Amino acid sequence: MRCVHKFTELEADVGVRTEIPENEIRRQRDIMARIAEMNAAGRERLALVDTFGCQQNEADSERIRGMLREMGYGFTEREAEADVIVLNTCAVREHAEKRVLGNVGALTHTKRAKPDQIIVLCGCMVQQPVMAEKIRRSYRIVDLVFGPQALWRFPELLERVLTERTRVFAVEEEDGSIAEGLPAVRQKGVKAWLSAMYGCNNYCSYCIVPYVRGRERSRRPEVIVEEARALVASGYRDITLLGQNVNSYGKDLSEDVDFPRLLRMVNGIPGEFVLRFMTSHPKDAGEELFRAMAECEKVENHLHLPFQSGSDAILKKMNRRYTKADYLALVELARRYIPDLVVTSDIIVGFPGETEADFLETMDVIERVRFDALFTFIYSKRPGTPAAEMDDPDSREVKQARFDRLIARQNAISGEIHAGYVGKRVRALVDGVSDRESGLLTARTSGGRLIHLKGGEQRIGEFAPVEITGCNTWALYGEICE
């Protein structure tokens, strides 16, 4: 299909920068105004945005909601009354894709009852050519399909669906760009996502992300600092800088800025707030980062540092570019700078060719590091990635058994670490409601550990001293010290 935006021509104007020129953003804003005018003529129009996948997708959905609001849409949770339904999809594992397709299937009935309902599929899953084709052929109820790189053109794409009443697909392969100045509707509360960079260049052999999210590109530091300042001013207290490989920030910028420097810049914003970041890749983490974390009082004592596997042979096949010894040394160095650092990680069990001996190396890393929490996944074959071509002799049962052993051991470790909090006093940010009926709130420690505690909702947004009174594997229980 025709590529609607003329990025290659514009590139000549903006040099090597990948930022969308202001006049293009203005054009999208004009379209939003036109659609808002159209919508204002009749009854109130409603939209529903459902997000699958990671925080990057959450952040993208906030932009989609922002654009929908500017186009005059209100929001609903009920599919039956929505005029526009947006499913922002994920492709990281097969399970995520199955969930999305199941949801699309279920919308057949909704759309039959409301034939002018517009169904939009966007995000990572649809950026895969095979998947886009499958939707074109087999999911005819879907009206608009666009990948993450085309997000900023949502108004123009939606306008085409509304005015031409045709199906629109915008899934051309693109390295990606940066679109500043788009509106956002953020989740209410105290926690906000702030994208520092987009895309990934790492090509870990199992991972689909670099194929669907384009090349690494960093937002200008001054734009990030300004956005953080605005977030603090409007009451957000917990800001997470996002990137698939956030600590490679700045490599593509001509300015002299890297991730540790960015942390220091955001840390310098006045106001009471805390700063987190994810996800860091071990190959880009080092002394400078840890020194910045230790010296910046607003940067929390939490490092999410995925190691994926403890076996050097598997790490090599994964294209992770570090060894088990490198990883262990890195965590040790981090803890030297930040003694009470909470370390969490991601692990893949059952990568093609993983042997029992390889798996035991992973278990060994868990014993040595003693992570506070882990996100553990069974390997899922992603067509088009190098790992999908590798010999994978082990059965699902063998992988599941390893996975269960790992979870059991980690649960015991998390339980022990949590028990160590009991009786201690910590500073925590009260960030939401845990259970309204029993009057329980949620709070987070500096390391991101979840606390359930009693209190009135007016306390949400407060940093409070909390005495930890109990725990289980997943959470702590506490009381606010008055």
Residues that bind ligand SAH (CB under 6 A): 92-93, 206-207, 209, 244-245, 279, 281, 306, 308, 346, 348, 377, 379-380, 382
Question: Nearest approach, Cβ of 345 to ligand SAH (angstroms)?
Answer: 8
The answer to whether 32 contacts ligand F3S (rule: CB under 6 A) is no
Query: Which residues lie below 8 Å from residue 312, measured CB to CB, with a gap of 6+?
Result: 323, 324, 361
Question: Nearest approach, Cβ of 380 to ligand SAH (angstroms)?
Answer: 4
Comparison of 282 and 455: residue with beta carbon closer to ligand SAH: 282
Question: Nearest approach, Cβ of 446 to ligand F3S (angstroms)?
Answer: 26
CA atoms within 13 A on the CB side of 316: 5
The answer to whether 53 contacts ligand F3S (rule: CB under 6 A) is yes
Distance CA 453, CA 468 (A): 9
Q: Which residues pair with 299 in a beta bridge?
A: 275
Q: Which stretch binds ligand F3S (CB under 6 A): 28-36, 88-96, 351-359, 396-404?
A: 88-96
Q: How far apart are the first and last CA of the chain?
A: 63
Comparison of 7 and 206: residue with beta carbon closer to ligand SAH: 206
Comparison of 28 and 308: residue with beta carbon closer to ligand SF4: 308
Distance CA 70, CA 64 (A): 10
Query: Which residues lie below 8 Å from residue 256, measured CB to CB, with a gap of 6+?
Result: none
Distance CA 75, CA 238 (A): 25
Of these, 18, 28, 56, 385, which contacts ligand F3S (CB under 6 A)? 56
Question: Nearest approach, Cβ of 214 to ligand SF4 (angstroms)?
Answer: 11
Q: Which of residues 189-208 bind ligand SF4 (CB under 6 A)?
A: 200, 202-204, 207
Q: Where are the alpha helices (DSSP H) in 194-296?
A: 209-213, 221-233, 259-267, 287-295
Rg (CA), the chain: 23
Tokens of 393: 């002799």
Torsion over CA of 238, 199, 203 and 359, rounded to 10 degrees? 20
The answer to whether 281 contacts ligand SF4 (rule: CB under 6 A) is yes
The answer to whether 72 contacts ligand SF4 (rule: CB under 6 A) is no
Question: Nearest approach, Cβ of 356 to ligand F3S (angstroms)?
Answer: 29
- For the chain, give the number of residues: 482
Burial-class residue 441 by CB neighbours within 10 Å (0-12, 13-18, 19+): buried
Q: Which residues pair with 238 in a beta bridge?
A: 191, 274
Query: Among 177, 166, 196, which Cα is nearest to 260's?
Result: 196
Comparison of 157 and 365: residue with beta carbon closer to ligand SF4: 365
Comparison of 124 and 145: residue with beta carbon closer to ligand F3S: 124
Question: Nearest approach, Cβ of 149 to ligand F3S (angstroms)?
Answer: 12
Of these, 147, 210, 221, 448, which contacts ligand SF4 (CB under 6 A)? 210
Are the C-beta atoms of residues 441 and 459 closer than 8 Å to each other?
A: yes
Comparison of 101 and 480: residue with beta carbon closer to ligand F3S: 101
Of these, 32, 86, 107, 124, which contacts ligand F3S (CB under 6 A)? 124
The answer to whether 196 contacts ligand F3S (rule: CB under 6 A) is no
The answer to whether 375 contacts ligand SF4 (rule: CB under 6 A) is no
Are the C-beta atoms of residues 317 and 352 closer than 8 Å to each other?
A: yes
Comparison of 94 and 287: residue with beta carbon closer to ligand SAH: 94
Tokens of 213: 């999210």
Read off the amino acid at residue 376.
Answer: T
Question: Nearest approach, Cβ of 400 to ligand SF4 (angstroms)?
Answer: 22
Comparison of 56 and 380: residue with beta carbon closer to ligand F3S: 56
Are the C-beta atoms of residues 79 and 85 closer than 8 Å to each other?
A: yes
Q: Which does 348 bind (CB under 5 to 8 A by kind): ligand SF4, ligand F3S, ligand SAH, none?
A: ligand SAH
Summarize the chain as % helix, strand, coil (round to 5): 40, 20, 35
Residue ranges binding ligand F3S (CB under 6 A): 53-54, 56-57, 90-92, 123-124, 208-209, 212-213
| Contact set with ligand SF4 (CB under 6 A) | 200, 202-204, 207, 209-210, 244-245, 281
